[in-house]
Structures are given as C-alpha cells and as structure tokens.
Structure 1
Amino acid sequence: MPSKTAKPDRPNQTPRSVVFVVYPDITLLDLVGPLQVFSHAEDPATQDKGYACQVVSVSGGMIGTNTVLSIPTQPASSLQGHPIHTLIVVGGQGAIPGMRDTQLVAAVRDMAKGAGRVASVCSGALVLAASGLLDGRRAVTHWDDCARLAETFPKVRVELDPIFIQDGQVWTSAGITAGIDMALAIVSEDLGRAAALKIARAMVAQMVRSGGQSQYSPALTRQLRDGAGRFESLHLWISDNLDAPLTVEALAAEAGMSARNFARSYAKSLGTTPAKAVEAMRVERAQELLETSSRSAKQIATLCGFRSEDRMRRAFLRGLGVSPTDYRQRFRAEVTSGGAGSA
C-alpha cells in the first residue's frame, strides 16, 4: 500500500509508469481523458516523455466500454515484479459488479503494493474501497455514487463536494472530467505546474483546478431547473451585463414580463429569487477572475457588479463560506505577465 508521506520514486530516471485498471462496462472518457493527459506530459528537465502508460485488466484481451468501442488490455499478471509509479482504477457502471469481483479486487490490491501512488476516476473509487485502500481515508466519487460508497464502505471518509481529493498517496476524483483535473494535478506534483499548464493549453482544457473546488456546476444546476429553457436567454443576457444595475424591473423588462409576474414565475421555475440568482452569477464570475487574473479585488468587484469590495466579500461569505481573499489564495492559477487573464 502506498506511503502516506513519501512521493513516488522514478527508478533510474525512466518514464514514470502509469497503469490504468479497467473492467467490462467502464466509462470510456474516464480512461481516455486522464490517459491523454499522461501521454502528453513531458519532463521539462529533459523534454522526454514523462510517463509510460499501460492499460490492464484481470485477464487481458479486449474489454468492452459503455460505447461501441472495446479496448485492448494486458493481463494484470504481466506487471508482476515491475514497479508502478501511479496506479489508476477507471470508473463506470461496471464498477458496481467490479467491487464484488474478487479477482479484480485482488489484482488491484496486489498492484497497489508496488505502486508509489494509487488513484481512482469516478466510480472506480468503489473498487479501490473494496480492496481496502480507502479505509480511514478521505475520498470522493461521482455525486451519484457517494451514498453507495459511504454505505457500502463505512470505513471510508466520503466527501460529497470536491472534484478530487488527495489523501497521502491515494487520490480519488469525481465524475469524468474531474479525472482530467486530477491527472493534471498529479502531473503538476510530479513535473511542475508549468508542465501541467502546457498540457491544459494543448487540450484546450480549463486552467488546472484545485481539488477543493466543487463538482457541482451552478450554471448546469440552473439549466436543469429551467428544463424548458424559459429563462435561458435571460441568463445569457445577465452574464453579459453583470456590471449593470440588475434590478427585478430590469430583468422583467428583458424577459418581456411584468415585474410581479416575472418574480413569481422565476422563483417557481428556478427555486430561488431573481436577486439571489444574480448574486450567484456575480460570485461565479468573480471566482473565475480571482482564479485566472491578476486584477485587484476592487477591480473584480466593479466588473462583476458588486460596486464595492465589501459587498463582494459578504456575497462570497453567504454563498461559499469564504472571503474573496481566502478563495484566491486557495484556488488562484499562476498568471503570467500579459496572459489572458491579466488586467
């Protein structure tokens, strides 16, 4: 089992071995997203490939996914005696029968003994938990599987919100694209932040996100609640005019409704008041700017329509339970001079 403190070694300066464990009915993107990250990664010191990737299953051969594609794999036994830098268990609907598959669980447990780091993508955490590798550790999985993970494996300290969690040398991630975030964070730990940023740019991915950020998207939540798309164009307009005085009257006029009817209809559809929705969108935009730009808090407050730093601070405390300053310190990406986010 990997150490809680020691970082994975790289024997003889060879590329770091990353082994993906799959089984029938995995989610294909759970595999290929992180696989693409590690395949892109270069060691900045040598410009050589940073990782050598392999995909294994219990018996090897072609393994079906949740798409029309099957993937070729090596048998897990072929790695016996070979050091593994990072072992990653992929997720998918097959993880539920997989956590009950004694051969798969035993194979994961055996490979983990020689691995410097162990990780899971999405519901792959169920297989890790079945192997005992998450006992006593903080862990996360896709929000739809968090209850199952907690109930089936009570020794695991399940957290519902983060996109990924690192507990010592064991990493777990939430659903699908969070596996890419986790992989980028692993690259950053191994090869440095510049190497991770280079991959993110190449993949046209969002800037490397910290694991403490939420796996729940406020924008997606709005879309789900507004299933018929009644206020979709209004939300786009709000997003383009956050620095304007967005009163209920102004929103109602844009929606082509009376203020009273608009406020009632909006609250019924979205489960929140227009004022709270506007504040949430302003906080979301401010989060993005705090993470990716070098603008001052005062500038960001003005751009997002808060009118003052104090108003923005109170909105952050209400919505996130943290101040803008603390948020920036925790999640801010490195901003280079002249970058896209610079003032």
Structure 2
Amino acid sequence: MIVGYPDVELLDVACVADTFDAANRVGASPQYTIEFATLGAQPAISGSGLVLAGQHALERVTGPLDTLVVSGGLGHETAAADPVLVAHVRRLARESRRVSSVCSGASVLAAAGLLDGRRCTTHWVVAPGLAERYPRINVDPKPLYIKDGNVYTAAGVTSGLDLSLAFVEEDNGAEMARTVARALVTYLQRPGNQAQVSMYVQAPTPENSVVRKLVTHIAANLDDDLGTTALAGRAGVSERHLTRLFLDHIGRPPAKYVRETRTEAAARLLTSTPLPLAAIARRCGFGSAETLRQAFVGRYGIAPSRYRNLT
C-alpha cells in the first residue's frame, strides 16, 4: 500500500510501484498487489502537475498489509502536520509486516512516532530539518536507505528504486531482484549505505582558496603522495593549519577526505571499466588491492568484487 497526498513526488510513487509491477511480470510469488491510498480517495496532484487517482480512502484501508510505503514530496510537511493522515499511517503501521518511507515521506513516519529511537535516512536536503524537529530519532543523511527492525527509510527519489529492489530480494531472492533490475535498466542494487551524493558533484565548492586548490589537485592526482605532510608542503602551510582548514571547509581532516575520494573513484572505475582490482588500486592511490578492499568495505559495507558484480 502506497500512501500519497497533495504535492507528492511522482518518482517516489512510481519507483516503488513499477519495481513491484516488474517483479510480478517476471514471476514474483506471491504476486504484489499495488495500491495507492489518499485521504478520502482524493486525487493527488503531484509536484510535477500530473494527477494520481486515489484508489482507496486511507481511512477505510484495513490490515493486515504486507508493505506500507509513505511517499515523499513537496507536500510532506503539510502531510506530517495533518493529524488524520498521521493517525491512519500509525494505525496501518501496526497492521503491516514492514513499514517504509521514500524521501521526505520520513516526515510522516516521524510525526506518527514510528521512527522514535530508530536510525533513519531521508533526502539530504530535508535531513537537518527532520533531525531538528524530531530529536528522538537518529537521522543519518548519508545512506541510500536504512533498515531498522521492520522500518525502512529511503533517501530520496530514485533511492526508492534501490529500496524496492531490496524488498524484491528479501521476498523472492537475489536472482529475481537481478532480473527486475535488468528489466528496469538499473543497478542491482546500489548498496544501502552508498552515499546519497557523490563528492564529485556535491556543492558548494570550498570557498577557501587553499582548500579549493588542494581538492582539485587531489581529484586529478589520486596516485600521488597525498599524505597530510605532502599536501601541507604543497599549500605552504603547517599540517595543523591544513587540518583546521579542511575541518572548517569540508568537515573532515585531509587524510579522511583523501581516502574517501580515492574510494569513490575506485567505485566509479569498478562500474565503468573492466580493469582488474589491482590496477584500480594503483590508479586510485592505494598501496595494494587489499588496502583498497579494506577502504571499500569501510565506506560501502561491501567488498569491491561484489560491488562490481551487483552493478
């Protein structure tokens, strides 16, 4: 059962619905019944202007349900402030095998008290506000999706696809999920703890000129000596001052930033080239394939070889 409301994000609904539909078409057993509910069965005008028909009145839906999904969207704050909608989500959660949200739909779960004491994620843009409004939940804005007990939260928009593939794998096995992913022409599936936003595209660019120049140098010279001593010498500052600059402008010390950059570069090469692991390790500045493996597991929670096989 997918729950929507005015200004819902169309992709937050479609990623879930189409994944389950694709699974049905390739033999999911039992078949998924895909239904969309709104208050009063009213049409939900999505953020893009397309209108989704309300198949069911949320207040008349009864359990037991297999999977309850609350979609996100621009209207999430209004939805979370609606006591009627929140009460019915809370009621249905008690009658569902698993409860989930996509993107800012986490706001509704939080308002219903379903995330209290749990670790969860949401879109990185709304994560700070969610954490501030609901101090009893542990908001982690980094992963694509998180499972805490029978409650699942997905980061934003297309991460709903990753979460839905994880559901298919739980229900029907890895081969079924792989078949569905191929049908949808997508990854199978990005690890849940993969970062929402690549460090290569996230904004803003560091304002400090020293940090900005070093970040550019690091990205272009991953196989160089990028130790803190070497970077400080290149910038003409002390190691202590360099560490302070990185903490102030990037939020982590130079060594950690370099390690994350190298690991993400390795992830990109694993999915875009046939290079062997040892060659990728050398190109990204790791001393050995084993060093790369340790860094990769530490960041993504999965071995590089498995990551390549899943994508």
Residue by residue over 1:174-227, the C-alpha shift from the partner in whole angstroms, topping out at 9 and shown as x without a partner, is 1111111111111111111111111211111123012111112122127x639x
Superposed displacement of residue 47, structure 1: 5.3
CA distance in 2, matches of 1:130, 1:100: 8
Gap change, CA 1:244 and 1:126, over 3 Å in 2: closer
Structure 1 position 58 matched with structure 2 position 30: no
Structure 1 position 37 matched with structure 2 position 19: yes
CA distance in 2, matches of 1:196, 1:204: 12
Superposed displacement of residue 61, structure 1: 2.8
Contact 1:121–1:176 (CA under 8 A) maintained in structure 2: yes
Gaps of 5+ in 1: 1-18, 227-237, 248-259, 261-270
Q: Residue 52 of structure 2 is aligned with which of 71, 84, 106?
A: 71
Contact 1:291–1:331 (CA under 8 A) maintained in structure 2: no
1:323 corresponds to which residue?
A: 295
2:267 aligned counterpart, secondary structure: helix
Q: Residue 284 of structure 1 is aligned with which of 264, 268, 273?
A: 264
Percent identity of paired positions between Structure 1 and Structure 2: 33
CA distance in 2, matches of 1:329, 1:122: 22
Number of positions where the alignment pairs a residue of Structure 1 with one of Structure 2: 283
Gap change, CA 1:125 and 1:335, over 3 Å in 2: closer
Residue by residue over 1:209-251, the C-alpha shift from the partner in whole angstroms, topping out at 9 and shown as x without a partner, is 12111112122127x639xxxxxxxxxxx99x9898899xxxx
Gaps of 5+ in 2: 207-217, 227-234, 236-248, 251-255
CA distance in 2, matches of 1:340, 1:184: 12
Question: Aligned AA for 1:210?
Answer: P
1:161 aligned counterpart, secondary structure: coil
Superposed displacement of residue 285, structure 1: 3.1
Contact 1:292–1:332 (CA under 8 A) maintained in structure 2: no
Residue by residue over 1:58-87, the C-alpha shift from the partner in whole angstroms, topping out at 9 and shown as x without a partner, is 11031111012110012113422x421000
Gap change, CA 1:243 and 1:149, over 3 Å in 2: closer
Superposed displacement of residue 135, structure 1: 1.0
Give matches, 1:26-175, under 5 Å.
26-42=8-24, 50-73=31-54, 74-80=56-62, 82-175=63-156
1:306 corresponds to which residue?
A: 285
Gap change, CA 1:137 and 1:324, over 3 Å in 2: closer
Question: Aligned AA for 1:283?
Answer: T
CA distance in 1, matches of 2:221, 2:129: 40
Contact 1:60–1:76 (CA under 8 A) maintained in structure 2: yes
Q: Where in structure 1 do 4 or more consecutive aligned residues deviate above 6 Å?
A: 241-247, 276-280, 291-295
Structure 1 position 176 matched with structure 2 position 148: no
State the TM-score, normalized to the length of structure 2: 0.75
Residue by residue over 1:158-187, the C-alpha shift from the partner in whole angstroms, topping out at 9 and shown as x without a partner, is 112111110010001111111111111111
CA distance in 2, matches of 1:105, 1:279: 42
2:44 aligned counterpart, secondary structure: strand
Task: Identify the range of structure 1 (325-334 vs 168-177) with the bigger mean alpha-carbon deviation.
Answer: 325-334
Gap change, CA 1:333 and 1:190, over 3 Å in 2: farther
1:216 aligned counterpart, secondary structure: coil
State the TM-score, normalized to the length of structure 1: 0.69
Gap change, CA 1:186 and 1:332, over 3 Å in 2: farther
CA distance in 1, matches of 2:288, 2:81: 53
CA distance in 2, matches of 1:20, 1:296: 42
Gap change, CA 1:101 and 1:201, over 3 Å in 2: same
Gap change, CA 1:300 and 1:51, over 3 Å in 2: same
2:202 aligned counterpart, secondary structure: helix
Residue by residue over 1:75-126, the C-alpha shift from the partner in whole angstroms, topping out at 9 and shown as x without a partner, is 113422x421000000011110111101100111111121000000011000
CA distance in 2, matches of 1:298, 1:211: 25
1:38 aligned counterpart, secondary structure: helix
1:250 corresponds to which residue?
A: none
Give the superposed CA RMSD. Answer: 4.0
